[in-house]
Structure 1
């Protein structure tokens, strides 16, 4: 890949990754507010706002970060499965996406608060835990990008 194109892809990757971190932080704040409030209308409004953040920000940003990250890995000298830190970043991003798809359920929480019933405390806090874990994963990926720890993956049959 030409240097200018590579830099453009890198800029898009960094912007999407940082914006995804901000979007997930917003989900943590909304979830925490909904879990701590006694005001069911506020909790319901917070839960109803979350899918908008996910569909307008989380999904496009995570897909953009994934595509640009894979592109950079496949076309750059770091490789996608050559260095530990690049592979770990890929696994963390895929884990963030899977956690969002499989575990995060703000619409279910909104339905629980809709009838004027308070959601179970365990279920509420589990909905805080999912984006909380996503934040930790995204911050770890960011740190790996900055520090680039040494270490290459060893593949069977390949000589160092």
Structure 2
């Protein structure tokens, strides 16, 4: 890949990755606020807002980060499966996507708020934990990008 194109793809990758971290942080804040409030209407509104963040931000940002990351890895000397850190970043991003797909359910939580506090209490902290896990995985991926541990895969 030519240097100018590579740098452009790198800028896109960094921007969408940072935006994805911000989007997940926004979901953590909304989820925590919904979990802590005694106002079921506020909790319901927070849970109803979350799918808009997910569909407008999370899905396109995570897929763009995945595509640009794979493109950068395949067109550089780092490779996709040559070093532990590049393979780990791929696994972490796929795990972030899977956690979002399989463990995060804001629409179910919005429906649960209509059933009262008891219906919500058992699930809401699990939602916060799922998002917290995503934050940790994205921060580890960021650290790997900065430190680039040199261990090679066979």
Q: TM tier, shorter chain?
A: over 0.9
* Alignment match, 1:77: 77
CA distance in 2, matches of 1:21, 1:7: 21
* Alignment match, 1:5: 5
Tell me if structure 1 keeps the 8 A contact 2:113–2:120. no
Unaligned runs of 5+ in 2: none
* Alignment match, 1:42: 42
Unaligned runs of 5+ in 1: 155-160
Tell me if structure 1 keeps the 8 A contact 2:109–2:120. no
- TM-superposed CA distance for 1:114, in Å, is 2.2
Normalised by the size of structure 1, how large is the TM-score?
0.94
Secondary structure at the residue paired with 1:38? coil
CA distance in 2, matches of 1:77, 1:114: 54
Deviations 1:30-86 (A, max 9, x none): 000000000001000000000000000000000000000000011111000000000
- TM-superposed CA distance for 1:150, in Å, is 1.3
In the TM superposition, 1:80-91 aligns within 5 A as 80-91=80-91
Larger relative helix fraction: 2
Tell me if structure 1 keeps the 8 A contact 2:80–2:87. yes
Structure with the greater alpha carbon radius of gyration: 1
In the TM superposition, 1:7-156 aligns within 5 A as 7-115=7-115, 117-118=116-117, 119-154=119-154
Cα RMSD of the aligned pairs, angstroms, is: 0.7
Normalised by the size of structure 2, how large is the TM-score?
0.97
Q: 4+ residue stretches of structure 1 with deviation over 6 A?
A: none
CA distance in 1, matches of 2:149, 2:83: 9
